[in-house]
Amino acid sequence: MTDNTLQGKRFFKIALISMLVGLLGGFLASLTYIFPDFLKEYQGLSRLRPIHVSYVMFWIIIGAVGGIYYGVAKLSGKPPQKNIAKVQMGLVILALVGIFYSYLAGDFGGREYWEFNPIWALPIALAWLLFLVNFVNMARTIKKWPVYVWMWMTGIVFFFLIFMENYLWIFPYFRENFVTDMTIQWKVAGSIVGAINQMTYGVAFFLMDRITGNDSTKVGSSKLAFAVYFLGLFNLMFNWGHHVYPLPTESYVRVIGYAVSMTEWILLIRIFYNWKKDIKEVQAYKHFFPYRFIAASNFWVLINLTIACFMSIPVLNIYVHGTHFIVAHSMGTTIGINTMILLAAAFMIFMPKVDGDHLPPNRNLRISFWLVQISLMVLFMALNIAGLIKGFWLNSEHQEPFSLMMSNLHGYFVTFVIAGTFLLIGLYYIVATLFKYSLKKES
């Protein structure tokens, strides 16, 4: 019997490998906070940081591809076109290997999140076009689209458009005007997250319906879910307002962007709450880890919503912009929300089943789950406090020497590195277990 979801599983494995590379790069980069000379002769931080940022970003993007392929195959009963998917996968692997070489060789030239030589953007763009072709070919056979199919379609299309916009700086007309160049760069950084959220939140809504059981579309057909979809669509166009606070742009863009962003998260929390309230204990246990990782993402949505509300106040934004506070917010959304959703999908896809039920959760996986949540929270708080201290220093009329300020942050950086180490251990164990499950399912 043909497995319609095979291509989705393969992309998910590539995504998990990308996550491991990104996490290791982030861990090694974090050591430079407490050991400034670590790999200094190899330009350690300048090469490790982009590896961390780019490969964690690729984990989210490629994981969303895997989740979407899996979801559309389940809904349509139709696999993606095999040859198209193979070429797409080959282009993705080519880009990942080329980008890694680009960073190790110090061959930079791109912008934030995409600091690699722009030549490697070509296979990414081509792979994305093939993904769009396969998605449309599969999705058009679904008679009535639940909200998550609309979210996937929107995310895929807008991601490609924003990714292309990201490379406008190649043309002198945009690159030679500083304000225009920076506005586009920061706008892309914000709006591309909106496109990724459309895809990952769509995966979350799909999983919520699968956990509910009996081919339910309760979440996928709800008015609240469609409200999140339309707000998310508006959000990916305008939520970049907080990225351009220092630039001379219209203030109403920031206000609208933040208002929509806050509303989207509030509705998302409401959907999670209603769903958890309706889920029976047997359903939660039957899908033990998918349920718990989605619940964890709900918690991190609430935390990041609270932080984002404070960041949206201009007088407070002055103190946090460009500090570790923003790094903490980014990690809270990337790991706390998107990674938790995609790990929920990975367990739904790979965890073995007996008589239709997932295997009972083992002790080590439970420990790893809580190790990830607790260490992420400690890391999150350490970066937030360090960011606030640096923000007050930046805006102080009588600044103490930079070296003294950094010395005062040393304890928070040590806490950050220790928490990051435990986070790395927890996630590596979870990923190793998922690979073990995936091999069992293919044997």
The predicted pLDDT at position 49 comes to 87
User: With 90 as the cut, is the pLDDT of residue 308 above it?
Assistant: no
Q: Scanning the structure block, which residue is given the tokens 């260490």?
A: 375
pLDDT category of residue 284 using cuts at 50, 70 and 90: low
- One-character DSSP codes across 243-275: GGTTSS--HHHHHHHHHHHHHHHHHHHHHHHHH
Q: Which of 83-92, 110-119, 350-359, 392-401 has the highest mean pLDDT?
A: 83-92
Percentage of the chain beyond pLDDT 70 is 84
Rg of the chain in Å (alpha carbons): 21
Q: Are 310 and 28 in contact (CB under 8 A)?
A: no
The predicted pLDDT at position 95 comes to 96
When pLDDT is averaged across residues 407-415 and rounded to a whole number, the result is 89
SS3 at position 79: coil
User: With 90 as the cut, is the pLDDT of residue 418 above it?
Assistant: yes
Distances (CA, A) of 392 to 147, 319, 407, 415, 430: 44, 6, 15, 21, 39
pLDDT category of residue 1 using cuts at 50, 70 and 90: very low
Contacts of 194 (CB under 8 A, 6+ apart): 158, 232, 235, 236, 237, 239
When pLDDT is averaged across residues 6-34 and rounded to a whole number, the result is 92
When pLDDT is averaged across residues 368-386 and rounded to a whole number, the result is 94
State which H helix or E strand residue 74 sits in: helix 44-76
Residue from 120, 139, 126 nearest 84 by CA: 126
Contacts of 231 (CB under 8 A, 6+ apart): 260, 263, 264, 267
Q: Are 158 and 236 in contact (CB under 8 A)?
A: yes
What is the rounded distance in angstroms from the CA atom of residue 282 to the CA atom of residue 279?
A: 8
Distances (CA, A) of 142 to 69, 72, 138, 169: 14, 9, 8, 39
When pLDDT is averaged across residues 216-243 and rounded to a whole number, the result is 74
Q: Are 333 and 304 in contact (CB under 8 A)?
A: yes
Alpha helices in 109-222 (DSSP H): 121-139, 147-165, 172-175, 178-212
pLDDT category of residue 356 using cuts at 50, 70 and 90: low
Q: Which comes out higher in pLDDT, residue 128 or 217?
A: 128
What mean pLDDT value characterizes the chain?
84
Buried b (16+ CB within 10 A) or exposed e, 382-410: bbbbbbbbbbebeeeeeeeeeeebbeebe
What is the rounded distance in angstroms from the CA atom of residue 31 to the CA atom of residue 38?
A: 7
pTM given for the model: 0.90
The predicted pLDDT at position 81 comes to 92
Buried b (16+ CB within 10 A) or exposed e, 57-84: bbbbbbbbbbbbbbbbbebbeebbbeeb
Q: Choose the weakest-confidence range: 81-90, 104-113, 165-174, 260-269.
A: 260-269
Q: Which two tokens stand for residue 249?
A: 């742009």
Torsion angle (degrees, nearest 10) of CA 418, 299, 65, 63: 20
When pLDDT is averaged across residues 384-401 and rounded to a whole number, the result is 83
pLDDT category of residue 88 using cuts at 50, 70 and 90: very high
Q: Which comes out higher in pLDDT, residue 324 or 335?
A: 335
Q: Which comes out higher in pLDDT, residue 297 or 322?
A: 297
User: With 90 as the cut, is the pLDDT of residue 227 above it?
Assistant: no
Q: Choose the weakest-confidence range: 278-287, 342-351, 360-369, 370-379.
A: 278-287
Q: Strand 114-116 and strand 108-111: pairing?
A: antiparallel
When pLDDT is averaged across residues 193-197 and rounded to a whole number, the result is 88
The predicted pLDDT at position 341 comes to 95
The predicted pLDDT at position 164 comes to 92
What is the rounded distance in angstroms from the CA atom of residue 127 to the CA atom of residue 8?
A: 14
pLDDT in tens, 242-258: 555 555 556 666 666 66
State which H helix or E strand residue 387 sits in: helix 363-394
Q: Which of 69-83, 108-122, 346-360 has the highest mean pLDDT?
A: 69-83
